[in-house]
Structure 1
Amino acid sequence: MLFWKRQLDRFSLFLGRLSAALMLLMLLNVFYDVVARYFFKSSSIGMQELEWHFFSSMFMLGIAYTLHAEGHVRVDIFYEKWSEKTRAIVDIVGVVVFLLPFCGLILWYGHGFALESFRLGETSGDPGGLPYRWIIKSMIPASACCLALSGIGLLLKDLIKLSQSS
């Protein structure tokens, strides 16, 4: 169990680094777009769309890392006063009852959404926009998978805590 927890933790950390790289790419893209627009009176719809592609990918992949780093939202006013065992139980229930079914739902509907976009050969509606809209739409089910894997890592961490406290 410890081996799988470590592997999932490593995967979550990779997603955090990937999100940071995507943020850097987004910042460079915005910088380029601003310089091109205001200094050279040139603008590219594709570069503007690439900004929200980077932002969306950064956000959706960063969710899994945020869960791993325990930066997610919860009612800490109660949580911090509980024992380690109670925290572990609450986290286990949260992952099993809420997180994993939510990820399954997003994966189920997001997969169909991305697949339909792929089958249609969907592109940007704007002239000069990016082709292959299915790539960004596929980030929806991909992020659900990543979040589920991070949640399983959290679940394993809490199961290990419970087994050690017994």
Structure 2
Amino acid sequence: MRKFVHLVDSVNEWLGRSMRWFLLIAISFTCIEVGQRYLFNHPTMWGFEVPIHFAAAMYTLSWGFVLLRKGHVRVDVLYNRFSERGRAIVDVACFLALFLPVIGVLTYSAGSWMVHAWAIGEKSVITYWYPPIAPMRTAIFAGILLLLLQGFAQLWRDLYFLARGEHID
């Protein structure tokens, strides 16, 4: 299990750090579109959707990294008052009661959404450019799946700590 935890952590760490470039790409495309539209009065047909696709990929592919870094919202007023063992118990209980059911259903939904998009060659209808939507849906599914895997890695860390009294890292 240590290898699984290390692999998931490494993938999410690398991906989370890489997603900053997606932000720069999305901002660059937005700036190009604004310049084309307002300076040259010549908007592009792709300028609205490309930043949306990059931003969607960036957000979802970063979720596992945020969980790895413990950056998601939590009620720290209560949580920080618990001992380290108490926090591990709360984390395990919340994973089983909240995280696993919600993210499990979300992973399943995103996966079927992605498969459907590839199967029918779905196109976006937001603009008249009609780009394929499947790559964005694949990135969304991958991000949610990586979040789920990072949740399992965190669960294993907490269970290991509760059983042995020491951290896995």
Query: Fold-level match, TM-score > 0.5?
Result: yes
Cα displacement (A) at 1:84: 0.3
Listed as ranges, the gaps of 5+ residues in structure 2 are none
Cα displacement (A) at 1:5: 1.9
Q: Secondary structure at the match of 1:46?
A: coil
Q: TM-score, normalised by structure 2?
A: 0.88
Alignment of 1:12-161 (within 5 A): 12-125=12-125, 126-130=127-131, 132-161=132-161
Deviations 1:56-79 (A, max 9, x none): 111111111111111111110000
Letter in 1 for 2:108: W
Further displaced range: 114-123 or 72-81? 114-123
Equivalent-residue separation in structure 2 for 1:138 and 1:2 (angstroms): 28
Identity of aligned residues (%): 27
Cα displacement (A) at 1:153: 1.8
Cα displacement (A) at 1:55: 0.9
Equivalent-residue separation in structure 2 for 1:74 and 1:90 (angstroms): 11
Equivalent-residue separation in structure 2 for 1:74 and 1:120 (angstroms): 40
Listed as ranges, the gaps of 5+ residues in structure 1 are none
Q: Secondary structure at the match of 1:100?
A: helix
> In the alignment, is the contact (CA less than 8 A) between 2:57 and 2:139 conserved in 1?
yes
> In the alignment, is the contact (CA less than 8 A) between 1:45 and 1:129 conserved in 2?
no
Higher helix share: 1
> In the alignment, is the contact (CA less than 8 A) between 1:23 and 1:55 conserved in 2?
yes
Cα displacement (A) at 1:13: 0.5
Equivalent-residue separation in structure 1 for 2:72 and 2:124 (angstroms): 33
Equivalent-residue separation in structure 1 for 2:4 and 2:110 (angstroms): 27
The Cα RMSD (Å) is: 1.8
Deviations 1:24-68 (A, max 9, x none): 111111121122222222212312101100111111111111111
Equivalent-residue separation in structure 2 for 1:161 and 1:45 (angstroms): 54
Cα displacement (A) at 1:115: 2.0
Equivalent-residue separation in structure 1 for 2:49 and 2:130 (angstroms): 7
Count of equivalent residues: 165
Further displaced range: 20-29 or 77-86? 20-29
Deviations 1:119-148 (A, max 9, x none): 222212222242x11221233322221111
